[in-house]
Chains A and B, each alone.
Chain A
Amino acid sequence: MTDTATAETASAERLFEGADWDFPTLQRIHDACEEVALNELGLDVYPNQIEIITAEQMLDAYSSSGMPLFYKHWSFGKHFAHHEAFYRKGLRGLAYEIVINSSPCISYLMEENTATMQTLVIAHAAFGHNHFFKNNYLFRQWTDAQGILDYLDFAKSYVAQCEERYGRVAVEQTLDAAHALMSHGIDRYPGKKNLDLRAEEKRAGERRAHEESAFNDLWRTIPTGPIKSAELLNVERRRKLLGLPQENILYFLEKTAPRLQSWQREILRIVRHIAQYFYPQSQTKVMNEGTATYVHYRIMTRLHEQGRLTDGNFLEFLQSHTNVVFQPEFDDQRFSGFNPYALGFAMMQDIERIVTDPDDEDREWFPEIAGKGDVMGVLRDIWANYRDESFISQFLSPRLIRNLRLFHLHDDPADSEGILVDAIHDARGYRRIRRELARQYDVGYIDPNIEVVDVDLAGDRRLMLRHVVVKGAQLNETETRRVLQHLADLWTYDVSLVEVDTKDTVLKEYVLHPRAMAAAA
């Protein structure tokens, strides 16, 4: 008697039956997910906005890096044509969702998804990613979730206005050049804040007061170091004035390129801001997807336990979940590097295990979290304070290394014997493998280290760049020439780039001269 009653209540609470959904269903799904996410997982999210789109609109969104509005540029058309061709041929499916780091947090859901898939996607994007966007330190530091959509709107209309006023060719050239330098238009460290006049005056006053109070004529007699030559002083002063060395090339151009029009500077600024906005996402792929996958897994399991999902729906979910977290092995045809979903999810689950059910090895490796008991507390802290590189280098456990059977290859072209297997999943290898894998996710290693080092102000105003070659990997010559050509066009004087190794030996030098730009006329 009681049994039938519970069965009835359970089925009455079902979120949906079958595969169809409508807007009230979505609302119910969202509310159910929200209940689990906020009360049981303790997530902290931006308000959600869920948008239903068609496949074509999804393709549109792809070509403008997922953003709902973007300025116009041919390269987006190229990406669109590319995705479309692949999609039409059936070579590539479309994502189930796209989520945007904004407040309210916008998630795009495809209309073709079944009700189960919509539940999965809402749990994944609207709660998993959303929590990560709101709490991870990189996003908090570098992105402005409230302002991004307004800024993109501004960017779009500004570029359109420029096209009207200065001609499409000139704007296109500027954007082409800016896009080529986009990967070097990022601030990696928060710069020092410029003091305002009042604060500066106050500081000067304090310094004077200190000098007066500490005055002692004896100081005058103390010998100083060797006098710097005038030339050296000049160089130092110039480099300080220009803020050199500078690794944010776009910023440097925007502030100091001698012959750019003000609208060109603004366009460089727009491209730079957008690059900066996406910068945290490239550093947290594994964590971001790992978080979202872990969250959707927890929420879906809970909904199933509560009887809100039928067994059939839950099986449908498990099927797509396993597809998502599938990691082919290195000798598999499907292998193309690590799947961030798989690695991230595996690490999150592993942390859950360490926190709740550690063994001796875990206690030795992770004394601070092993057996702590509060899974969500530990995970929330990790999600807030790490990026891929630091996350892997601290939380990849020996057990996971064994499970994934990771191994480290060292390929030195100078070594004729072949590729060395440097470490495998054994006691001697754990730390090395963990360090190397973390390094694969370190932007400092992924992006070439190129800096503006000097400008020949007294001579031909040549802009000098320097690439510090790490592990013998030099720049691809044709591509580099093209990028430098764009750079020279913006700088409007010669540009040179030297590649030096860590011992300061010059390996290669490029010099490029500017072409006439339509905008210069």
Chain B
Amino acid sequence: MHIVDRRLNPGSKSLENRQRFLRRAKALVQGAVKKSSQDRDIKDVLEGGEVSIPLDGMNEPRFHREGGTRDMVLPGNKKFIEGDRLPRSGGGEGRGKASDPGEGDGEDAFRFVLSRDEFVDLFLDDLELPDLAKRKLADVESTSLSRAGYATSGSPANISVSRTVRLAMARRVALRRPRPETIAELEAEIAESEGARRDELMAQLEALQAKMRRIPFIDPIDIRYRRFENTPKPVAQAVMFCLMDVSGSMSEHMKDLAKRFYMLLYVFLTRRYKHVEIVFIRHTDRAEEVDEDTFFHGPASGGTMVSSALQAMHEIVRSRFRPDDWNIYAAQASDGDNSISDGAVTGRLLTEMILPVSQFFAYLEVGESNGSTFEMPDSSLWSLYQKLRAEGAPLSMRKVSDRSEIFPVFHDLFQRRAPQEKAAP
């Protein structure tokens, strides 16, 4: 008898099969991921976890029969005698699961666990950041070698043989170096001929051989080396501005909606950029930059002046994030209230200062949970932004009133589009 200890064998022999399965089920899994993310907390969503997909698309069909008259033998008779009739109504006595032998476990949905990365990848797979033109080099993190043509000097290891031989051949042809075959022919002829003819040929041969010696097969000037250059890998960086109205009219529910949107945006940006900074600006009738906790939970009260937040953002951009170096994203959440006198200032700030330097500016109008999105009347801010958009300002705006709408709206904003389409309708 042999005993073999297999415990140390490399594990996950099924990994490849699992990947094949995931690849095949991708569309289904993606659908399931989106569905499950709608009613989950964003934090949980990003933890990955279990999803279930319908088995239908993944089934392995077999011929099998159903219906007809059935005979079965069962154990544990207690009170039946031959000739009894049992009522057929669902699940009556004697109708266990036993009736279909070999039917499998009756699996209707298929559940399995995705890792965090698998989950986020699938979650954001068909989304794209608009307007990525401004990828600026922030700090050089690493360099890589890349091919950059040929050089006349270099290390012997880098000799490009094909290029060298090509150049040598061109030179030999240009300088009419005699070919070895010509010399061989001449020698053969000499061997056959005699007298004056022979001397003449001998002279010719000598001239040719001298020429051959003068013009080498490979000259140092032919030699070429493959050239490599260090190319710095660009590291793109982004800053994300979260602007939120925290005046009394914003309820906890509305803040919650905004928070969800910000988190999605943050996750999305971190997937695209190595460095993402977040700036939280909250405002009532004056704006201040705060930390995350204060942003979402700190109490504040007062009127509403959107322009104050935009002004603050503008100043922060000017002092800390040079638009040349940073990709700037901004998302503003508000219930739409704004003091009437502020409208013109807001519009001017936005179109002249903010939008020209931003990659993307999204406005999210949050409403109470009971109100349907379509019934929300246009607020003052909404009408203002709509007017700006009509004039051609690159703004994206949506209304949201329920948790479950956040992801669809987000998805809608960043959906991968054909190039000519604008990022937001």
Contacts and interface: CB of A to CB of B under 8 A. Distances in A.
Interface of A: 23, 26-27, 30-31, 34, 47-54, 56-57, 59-60, 63-64, 72-78, 80-82, 84-85, 88, 104, 108, 111, 126, 172, 176, 179-180, 182-184, 327-332, 335-338, 404-414, 417-426, 428-429, 433, 436-437, 439-440, 446-448, 450, 467, 469-476, 479-480, 482-483, 486
Interface centre among B63, B69, B70, B87 (most CB of A within 10 A): B63
A54 B62 contact: no
A475 B18 contact: no
A337 B82 contact: no
A34 B87 CA distance: 54
A449 B110 CA distance: 31
A429 B6 contact: no
Given A50-B2, A52-B3, A474 B65 contact: yes
B107 A82 contact: yes
A26 to B, nearest CB: 6
Nearest to B101: A337
B95 to A, nearest CB: 7
B112 to A, nearest CB: 4
Contacts of B93: 331
Nearest to A441: B101
Interface in B1-24: 1-7, 9, 11-14, 16-24
A65 to B, nearest CB: 13
B78 A23 contact: no
B17 A74 contact: yes
Interface string B64-91: 1111111111111110111111111000
A48 B1 contact: yes
A471 B69 contact: yes
A426 B68 CA distance: 27
Contacts of B82: 421-424, 426, 428-429
A483 B62 contact: yes
B290 interface: no
Interface of B: 1-7, 9, 11-14, 16-25, 50, 58-78, 80-88, 93-99, 101-102, 107, 110-113
Nearest to B87: A418
A421 B112 contact: no
10 smallest CB-CB distances across A and B, nearest first, come from A329-B76, A473-B68, A77-B21, A77-B17, A472-B68, A482-B61, A330-B74, A74-B20, A81-B112, A473-B65
A93 to B, nearest CB: 15
28 contacts: A23-B3, A27-B3, A34-B1, A50-B3, A57-B6, A74-B24, A77-B19, A80-B18, A176-B60, A327-B75, A328-B76, A329-B75, A338-B75, A405-B76, A406-B74, A409-B74, A411-B71, A411-B72, A411-B88, A413-B67, A413-B69, A418-B87, A421-B82, A471-B71, A475-B65, A479-B61, A479-B62, A480-B63
A26 B3 contact: yes
Given A184-B63, A424-B82, A473-B66, A59 B110 contact: no
A404 B59 CA distance: 37
Select the residue from A59, A126, A433 with max chain B CB neighbours within 10 A. A59
Given A50-B1, A476-B64, 20 more contacts: A49-B4, A52-B7, A53-B7, A56-B11, A57-B7, A60-B12, A63-B14, A74-B20, A74-B24, A85-B112, A327-B75, A329-B76, A331-B94, A337-B97, A411-B72, A420-B84, A436-B73, A472-B67, A472-B68, A476-B65
A424 B5 CA distance: 51
Contacts of A406: 73-75, 77
Nearest to A473: B68
A440 B74 contact: no
Contacts of A437: 73
A411 B70 contact: yes
Given A50-B4, A486-B61, A408 B69 contact: no
A159 to B, nearest CB: 12
Nearest to A469: B68
B62 A180 contact: yes
Contacts of B24: 74
Contacts of B16: 72, 77
A491 to B, nearest CB: 16
Contacts of B62: 180, 182-183, 479, 483
A422 B71 contact: yes
B220 to A, nearest CB: 45
